[in-house]
Amino acid sequence: MTSPISNAARLSQWMPRLVIAPSFIIAMLFIYGLIAWNGYLSLSASRLLPNYEFIGLEQYHNLFESERWWVALKNLGIFGGLFIFCGMALGLFLAILLDQKIRAEGALRTIYMYPMALSFIVTGTAWKWILNPGLGIEKVVQGLGFTSFQFDWLIDPNMAIYTVVIAGVWQSSGFVMALFLAGLRGIDDSILKAAQIDGASLPRIYWRIIIPSLRPVFFSTLMVLSHLAIKSFDLVMALTAGGPGFATDLPATYMYTMAFSRGQIGLGAASATIMLATVAAIVVPYLYSELRSKR
């Protein structure tokens, strides 16, 4: 006969699993199940509506034959490279500035972090107003008497992608600053004091000792910003809507346009699968290295 104590112990052991099970099943169904469904659609003849006729890699062939897709990849290279480099450089600079124990550090830290509290839709809309030649920076400067001043990147097909970079760096730099500041505050003060006793200047201490010791923070920041760059959608849609023309298209906006505006579900699914593979190529090695280091 089973004792009440053993039944209670067994119930307490299984209760957490029973509570988590519905959420786990729903997540498996609506995340991984839909990923698998999207992958199959990319191999089908789907157009305006899903069509489950298997056509192999034809959608991927059409994808890489599309000039607009190559423009989106080129823009991703420009945006991703500048977004990551400028975001990390500015975030590191702000972190070093705050690490000097300056006055009003708490207020400055809040100001720098504030943009990250906004959604990318709000950021894109705000910068669309700021960069609009008819009511933003250009109009203000011209109103001050500098009538020859021009800053019309937002409507210039060759420069519009850089406006997306400006807005993205403005929003992400505070988050990057917080990561680097946490890393700076975790460095042993005795190492810095020993370097100062040896006569090393402050810039040399940062360049030779502190920044190299932040290598794990650099790696983590690179992973986060790379992920944000690859899946950027709402910032572009709010700021430029992919225009002028499709000059600021990114893979995410290309996927949305093909699948929901052009009635090319299969082509949109193929581009989404390529994006997923790109993110996985970045995230999986990172997770593997983290798990390996913990072991």
pLDDT value of position 281: 84
Q: What is the pLDDT of residue 55?
A: 92
Residues in the chain: 295
At residue 6 the predicted structure's pLDDT band, cuts being 50, 70 and 90, is: low
**Whole-number pLDDT of residue 4:** 60
Confidence of residue 144 (pLDDT cuts 50, 70, 90): confident
Q: What was the pLDDT predicted at 254?
A: 92
Position 168 pLDDT exceeds 60: yes
**Residue found by looking up tokens 């008497």 in the block:** 145
User: What's the confidence (pLDDT) of residue 164?
Assistant: 94
> What is the percent of the chain with per-residue pLDDT over 70, rounded to a whole number?
95
Query: Taking residues 54-68, what's their average pLDDT?
Result: 92
User: Rounded CA gap, 288 and 290, in Å?
Assistant: 5
**How many whole angstroms separate alpha carbon 267 and alpha carbon 272?**
9
Between 101 and 78, the higher pLDDT residue: 78
pLDDT band at 63 (very low <50, low <70, confident <90, very high): very high
CA 263 to CA 98: how far, in whole Å?
51
Confidence of residue 5 (pLDDT cuts 50, 70, 90): low
Mean pLDDT of 237-259: 90
Question: What global pTM score does this model have?
Answer: 0.85
The shares of helix, strand and coil residues in the chain, as percent rounded to the nearest 5, are: 75, 0, 25
CATH code of 60-294, in short, is 1.10.3720.10
Q: What is the C-alpha to C-alpha distance for residues 117 and 104, in angstroms, rounded to an integer?
A: 20
* N- to C-terminal Cα separation, the chain: 43
Beta bridge partners of 44: 54
Give dist(CA 129, CA 121) in Å, integer: 13
Using the predicted structure, report yes or no on whether residue 17 has a pLDDT greater than 80.
Answer: no
The residue-averaged pLDDT of 169-196 equals 85
CA distances from 260 to 227, 263, 277 (A): 23, 6, 21
Could you tell me the pLDDT band of residue 11, with boundaries at 50, 70 and 90? low
DSSP, collapsed to helix, strand or coil, labels residue 53 as coil
Question: Domains of the chain: which residue ranges?
Answer: 60-294
pLDDT of residue 294: 64
Q: What pLDDT, in 10s, does the model give residues 85-124?
A: 999 999 999 988 888 877 777 788 888 888 888 888 999 9
Mean pLDDT, the chain, whole residue set: 86
Q: Is the pLDDT of residue 295 over 70?
A: no
Report the pLDDT value the prediction gives residue 273, as an integer from 0 to 100. 92
Label residue 3 exposed, middle or buried (CB < 10 Å: 0-12, 13-18, 19+).
exposed
The predicted pLDDT at position 7 comes to 64
pLDDT interval class at 2 (50, 70, 90): low
